Amino acid sequence: MESIKSKIVFVTFALLIALSAVVISAATMAFYHDKELIISSNNASITAFEKQINTEIAALEKNALDLALMGEIYHQKGNIQQIAEFFVTGILKNYPNSMGNGIYFLPYKADEKNKNHCIHALFDDNRKIELLYSCVDGTFNYFDQNWYKEIKNDVKNGKRISWTRPYKSTQLGILMTTIGAGIYNGDDLIGMATVDWELDTILKSILNIKPTPNSFVLFADKTNDYVIATTEKGVDNSLMMGQSLKEMKWYSDELKDGVRFNYKGVVYVPYIKRLSNGMFLIVNIPFLELFSNAFHHLVVLLSVLLVSMMVIVSVLYKVLKKNINQPIDTLTDIAQKISDGDLDRTIYLKEPSELAKLAAAFNKMKTDMKAHLTELAKISAEKEKLASELAIAKTIQDSALPKDFPKTDYFELYASMIPAREVGGDFYDFFPVDENHAGLVMADVCGKGITAALYMMSAKTAIKNMLQAGYPLKQAIEKANNSLCSTSSPLMFVTAFVGILDFKTGIIEYVNAGHCPPLVRSNNVYKYVDVAKNIVLGVMEGFDFQTETLTLSEHDRLFLYTDGVTEAQAKENKFFGEDRLLEALNQKEVKVSETLEYVHQCIKKFIKKAPQFDDITMMVVEFKKKK
């Protein structure tokens, strides 16, 4: 047997393991929280840069569209030079982020005599606006410029806005791109409005993005498949500019934001930001560098928590060993004596306070146990008495029900009573009244147990004695009712169907005293019989009971039952009911001897596994022929 000490050691180590699991879980959660913060922080800073560029892109595209509209107005007003110069210089003032902008007409579209016609404004070195002189004197052959050809081709193919590939300006020697929009006369393309955007400044900002020492950036145009700039280590940015994205060995169209990839043995986390003009920015950060701080925090946190936990568990072990062993031994010794039956033993323990409370609980449990054993003995005696009464009631009920069913040339009769868990007061009876008549009784006594069984015997005996004494049915029932009223308690009564079958005529004279309506089968179809409204037996002395008759032809049947049939209840709180009983009887042609078992199976199928709360009592009579 294990000692208290060994159990304390076991519990302490179990606690150590449990706390270790909690500490590791907490540290892991903290790590993942740090990880999410790092990802979110990097994503936020890169997204902010993306929004800044997109804002600038949107402004440049609006500049081009506004200038295209001005170009159409300029053409409609007769190509007045001063109007064009006013437009291009005024829009450049409103969009200072562009290098310059202009209106360029297709050959002979502005002037039938001159092939080229353009107006272009730009900033000089002092940020003052001036006009491009070669446009003013008409010597600028812009038709051969690549940017002109790209924009013209895109606009003709239906693009609203065109972005050219980045190029070095021949005049300024800087990296730039041009944004263009079509100028139309109705549906006829007559020229383009252009806006120049310096990329050098943007590239400097992009190339300075370096969240960790070994991260690198790619800025490219996916639509036109070319690289604008990259900071990948070992790659010459000047040679890579303008090359296809396929030249980037790590790049793939399947690359997804935040989904890690392996390149040259290093795992990277990509941040992908797509710009509104078709360009995109990818920042690749080595996974270990990205989360190095989080890993460091995890190690430090685990170390501190584990050391603290071991100190706490060590102290806890010593306290438990000192304050629990001896008190528990005392409790165990006395508890053993109590378990041996010494319920007069009292435990005296003052400290520690928790075990003192446990000792008090032991003492109370001992007192309660004594009281419980006394009460249990009393309850057991009562249960034995009740079981004895139920056995007596069961014997009374079984002995009261006839088991030999008559099968004569004139009629055939079967009856059954399936008791519920508690003995009830259902009963049936059949007996000869004289050589030409038979009495039929189906009844249900209110209540359960031996009282109901005794009352059932009184009712059965009174009805049978009165009929066999020769009294007419009406008088016999009234005398039986008066007898039950004078002897029964106020809460006892019985519902009953009492009939007399005449073998010569097939007529049944009957009284229905508050009982379930019978069914008669005629021409192979069962129907309910409308019965007179009589009260139940045993509640009103001197009541005037009304008799009725029904006639059975050859092979007609009478079906009698108690409310245990129609009130059989399924788990869904639904009752079998009169409609289902009628449907069951008419659903299938069965022999008279098999009728009751068939109906019982229909009831069982309906209630399934629900318990039976009331007796199920039935009788079926088939009239064969007249005597």
Q: Residue 438: which CATH number?
A: 3.60.40.10
Task: Tell me how many degrees the CA angle 599-604-605 measures, rounded to the nearest 5.
Answer: 95
What is the model's pLDDT at position 447?
77
Give the pairing type, strands 411-418 and 425-434: unpaired
Cis ω before 96 (30° cut-off from 0): no
Give tens-digit pLDDT for 268-287: 999 888 888 878 889 988 98
Looking at the domain assignment, is residue 146 inside a domain? Answer: yes
Give tens-digit pLDDT for 563-593: 999 999 998 889 999 999 999 999 999 999 9
What is the model's pLDDT at position 393?
53
Task: Let me know whether 418 and 565 are in one domain.
Answer: yes
Task: Let me know whether 52 and 89 are in one domain.
Answer: yes
Compute φ and ψ for 495, nearest 5 degrees. -90, 145
Measured CA to CA, the distance from residue 244 to residue 165 in angstroms comes to 12
pLDDT band at 491 (very low <50, low <70, confident <90, very high): confident
What is the model's pLDDT at position 153?
93
Task: Let me know whether 205 and 186 are in one domain.
Answer: no
Tokens representing 433 are: 């009244």
What is the model's pLDDT at position 394?
63
* pLDDT, average across residues 47-71: 86
Looking at the domain assignment, is residue 338 inside a domain? Answer: no
Lowest mean pLDDT among 2-11, 95-104, 302-311, 601-610: 2-11
What is the model's pLDDT at position 199?
78
For residues 510 and 550, the answer to whether their CB atoms sit within 8 Å is yes
Across 336-399, the runs of DSSP E, i.e. the strands, are: none
Mention every residue, 6+ apart, whose C-beta is less than 8 A from residue 193.
64, 65, 67, 68, 70, 71, 101, 102, 103, 104, 180, 181, 182, 183
Tokens representing 547 are: 């008799």
Measured CA to CA, the distance from residue 237 to residue 233 in angstroms comes to 10
Task: Let me know whether 100 and 156 are in one domain.
Answer: yes
- Tell me which residue has tokens 């353009």: 118
For residues 519 and 526, the answer to whether their CB atoms sit within 8 Å is yes
Task: Let me know whether 251 and 130 are in one domain.
Answer: no
Mean pLDDT of the chain: 83
For residues 105 and 118, the answer to whether their CB atoms sit within 8 Å is yes
Task: Let me know whether 191 and 212 are in one domain.
Answer: no
User: Domain boundary residue among 288, 304, 324?
Assistant: 288
* pLDDT, average across residues 92-98: 80
pLDDT at residue 53 is higher than 70: yes
Mention every residue, 6+ apart, whose C-beta is less than 8 A from residue 179.
60, 61, 63, 64, 161, 162, 163, 164, 194, 195, 197
Looking at the domain assignment, is residue 460 inside a domain? Answer: yes
Give tens-digit pLDDT for 140-178: 889 988 899 999 999 999 999 998 888 877 766 778 889
Which DSSP helix (H) or strand (E) runs through 273? strand 266-274
Lowest mean pLDDT among 46-55, 343-352, 456-465, 510-519: 343-352
For residues 112 and 90, the answer to whether their CB atoms sit within 8 Å is no
Q: Give me the half-sphere count of Cα atoms (radius 13 Å) on the Cβ side of residue 32.
A: 5
CATH number at residue 54: 3.30.450.20
Task: Let me know whether 428 and 489 are in one domain.
Answer: yes
Q: To the nearest 10°, report the CA torsion of 586, 588, 594, 595.
A: -10
Give tens-digit pLDDT for 204-258: 777 778 888 889 998 888 888 888 888 888 888 878 888 888 888 899 888 998 8
Picking from 258, 261, 291, the residue whose alpha carbon sits closest to that of residue 248 is 261
Looking at the domain assignment, is residue 133 inside a domain? Answer: yes
Helix axes 449-468, 353-400, angle to 10 degrees: 10
Q: Which domain holds residue 269?
A: 201-288
Looking at the domain assignment, is residue 431 inside a domain? Answer: yes
Looking at the domain assignment, is residue 479 inside a domain? Answer: yes
Q: Cα 463 vs. chain centroid, distance in angstroms?
A: 62
* pLDDT, average across residues 6-15: 67
For residues 455 and 492, the answer to whether their CB atoms sit within 8 Å is yes
For residues 91 and 101, the answer to whether their CB atoms sit within 8 Å is yes
pLDDT at residue 5 is higher than 60: no
Give tens-digit pLDDT for 532-568: 989 999 999 999 999 999 999 999 999 999 999 999 9
Measured CA to CA, the distance from residue 293 to residue 289 in angstroms comes to 8
Determine the length of the chain: 627
pLDDT band at 1 (very low <50, low <70, confident <90, very high): very low
User: Domain boundary residue among 195, 215, 242?
Assistant: 195
Looking at the domain assignment, is residue 328 inside a domain? Answer: no
pLDDT band at 267 (very low <50, low <70, confident <90, very high): very high
Compute φ and ψ for 280, nearest 5 degrees. -145, 160
Task: Let me know whether 152 and 212 are in one domain.
Answer: no
For residues 132 and 121, the answer to whether their CB atoms sit within 8 Å is yes
Measured CA to CA, the distance from residue 217 to residue 205 in angstroms comes to 11
Tokens representing 564 are: 């245990």
Give tens-digit pLDDT for 354-409: 666 766 766 777 676 666 656 665 665 555 555 555 555 566 666 668 989 999 99
Give tens-digit pLDDT for 501-515: 999 999 999 999 999
Phi-psi region of 538 (alpha: psi -120 to 50; beta: other; left: phi over 0): left
Q: How many domains does the chain have?
A: 3
Looking at the domain assignment, is residue 147 inside a domain? Answer: yes
Task: Let me know whether 225 and 174 are in one domain.
Answer: no
Q: To the nearest 10°, report the CA torsion of 452, 457, 458, 462.
A: 140
Phi-psi region of 458 (alpha: psi -120 to 50; beta: other; left: phi over 0): alpha
Task: Let me know whether 190 and 220 are in one domain.
Answer: no
Give tens-digit pLDDT for 433-454: 999 999 999 999 987 777 888 8
Task: Let me know whether 183 and 220 are in one domain.
Answer: no
User: Domain boundary residue among 288, 303, 333?
Assistant: 288
Task: Let me know whether 34 and 59 are in one domain.
Answer: yes
Burial level of 544, CB count in 10 A (0-12/13-18/19+)? exposed
